[in-house]
Amino acid sequence: MKILLSAYACEPDKGSEPGVGWHWAVELASLGHDVWVITRANNEPVISEALAKAPIENLRFAYHDLPGWLKWWKKGRRGVHLYYLFWQIGIFLVARSLAKKVKFDVVHHVTFVSVRQPSFLGLLGIPFIFGPVAGGERAPMALRKSYPLRGWLLDLLRDVVNMWVKFSPLMHLTFATAKRIYVTSEQTRRLLPVRYLTKTAVQLAVGIENVPQDHSLSGKGTSACKVLFVGQLLYWKGVHLALRAFAEFLQRQPRARFTVVGSGPDESWLKGLAAQLNIGHAVDWIQWMPHSETMQLYRQHDIFLFPSLHDSGGMAVLEAMANGLPVVCLALGGPGEIVDDNCGRLVKTRGKTEDEVIEDLAKALTELLNDVDLWQASSKGARVRAQGFAWPKVVAEMYRALEGIVGTGKK
């Protein structure tokens, strides 16, 4: 089958959205399909380097970016959404030109993974798959208590924008022209107009490349437990909850350490909170590192603490599990779909105050790290669970499910 992918974010050896775009492209090609990918021009150097090292004959790329005089608009995160909208308009013209030369069987949008951002590729008249897309996940009001003012305002804006999805003419156009829509959660599915729900299915947008061999628990049998968080330092990632939970855990395990890997606009606020909690001596802050080094870092820790409030995917959760780390997270969003009692602990939030949730997070850490047998079982369970999200399996199963809808036989 000839497949045209739209992947604004697409880079090898990366996590998050760039990794999502890359793995969809590579895995579809490995299934024997002829794959063309439209992505940003600034991704070309790393993609060309990767393909030079490991050529994939049935994988081709078309690069597109807006004129240089418009690129200043997206510096930082200031105008990235408007830039992305114009990029989507531009790639419609690129795709239309490609479709005149190649008889595509399917057009598939994979990144950005956002239900709030339109795609115009359904107008090509080729069976169009939209997603998996995300964004409907919502932080409980009770857990916004300790947000900084910026967080309150941004989450309120997010709530309003999500309400607009049902009425947006551009999103209606996207949904109407799609043969199949994939969303990452029931919360996101509820954002869609009722008329499109019959062609909508729930499918997580993340996967894992491989599951390493077992590793021994560093410090197990001592009180030197090592807790890890990996992610952007943003208010909604829940690092402030993690710090407060770790502060309680530290009273029970005085030699424990907490490593926070990442950077972001809320870094100063979070470091200030650690100082207020008098746990600065037990918290190590590490800036972003290469993905390969991060994967090694997982194996040097004992448990992954990730109380994200509206994370649609949770790539870091899968990476931690693949490396044998039990996960403690909230029963929200993507992590709430990935983690179960066999590989960690899900902390429920419904009807609870923020203080109660923090206490439950600390209890979960204590339960898993104070019981060697339970930790070992959860570590093995994490690797087993992660195997179910291997990229080859995720991509193959989704395209199998599309049989009869778009016709997915190899051509």
User: Is residue 151 very low, low, confident or very high in pLDDT (cuts 50, 70, 90)?
Assistant: very high
Between CA 62 and CA 65 the distance in angstroms is: 10
Do 394 and 377 share a domain, yes or no? Answer: no
Please name every residue paired with 114 in a beta bridge, in sequence order, or none if there are none. 134
Residue where the block lists tokens 């829940």: 238
For the stretch 229-242, pLDDT in tens is 999 999 999 999 99
Q: Is 238 a domain residue?
A: yes
Q: How many helices (H) and strands (E) does the chain have?
A: 15, 13
Do 240 and 124 share a domain, yes or no? Answer: no
- For residue 280, the 8-state DSSP code is G
Ramachandran category for residue 231: left, alpha or beta (phi over 0 → left; psi -120 to 50 → alpha): left
At 411 the pLDDT is 46
Do 83 and 195 share a domain, yes or no? Answer: yes
* Poorest-pLDDT segment among 254-258, 288-292, 346-350: 288-292
At 82 the pLDDT is 86
Do 182 and 244 share a domain, yes or no? Answer: no
Listed in order, strand segments (DSSP E) in 301-381 are 303-306, 327-330, 344-347
At 405 the pLDDT is 76
For the stretch 17-37, pLDDT in tens is 899 999 999 999 999 999 999
Counting the structural domains of the chain, the total is: 2
Q: Is 243 a domain residue?
A: yes
Q: Is 142 a domain residue?
A: no
Do 86 and 185 share a domain, yes or no? Answer: yes
Do 24 and 104 share a domain, yes or no? Answer: yes
Q: Is 186 a domain residue?
A: yes
Q: How far is CA 152 from CA 51, 163, 190, 333, in A?
A: 44, 17, 23, 19
Q: Is 152 a domain residue?
A: no
User: Is residue 326 very low, low, confident or very high in pLDDT (cuts 50, 70, 90)?
Assistant: very high
Nearest by Cα to 213 from 380, 391, 389: 380
Q: What is the CATH number of the domain that holds 47?
A: 3.40.50.2000
Q: What is the mean pLDDT of the chain?
A: 91
Q: Is 220 a domain residue?
A: no
Q: Which domain holds residue 26?
A: 2-134+165-207+390-401
Between CA 128 and CA 122 the distance in angstroms is: 5
Average of per-residue pLDDT across 370-397 = 93
Do 59 and 105 share a domain, yes or no? Answer: yes
At 219 the pLDDT is 44
Percent of the chain whose predicted confidence (pLDDT) is above 70: 93
Percent of the chain whose predicted confidence (pLDDT) is above 90: 79
Q: Check the CA dihedral 360-363-365-371 and report its sign.
A: negative
Phi, psi dihedral angles at 306 (to 5 degrees): -145, 75
Do 174 and 27 share a domain, yes or no? Answer: yes
Do 375 and 397 share a domain, yes or no? Answer: no
- For residue 114, the 8-state DSSP code is B
Between CA 24 and CA 37 the distance in angstroms is: 10
At 271 the pLDDT is 97
Do 257 and 286 share a domain, yes or no? Answer: yes
Do 363 and 235 share a domain, yes or no? Answer: yes
Do 124 and 265 share a domain, yes or no? Answer: no
Average of per-residue pLDDT across 167-189 = 95
Q: Is 244 a domain residue?
A: yes
Q: Is 359 a domain residue?
A: yes
User: Is residue 222 very low, low, confident or very high in pLDDT (cuts 50, 70, 90)?
Assistant: very low
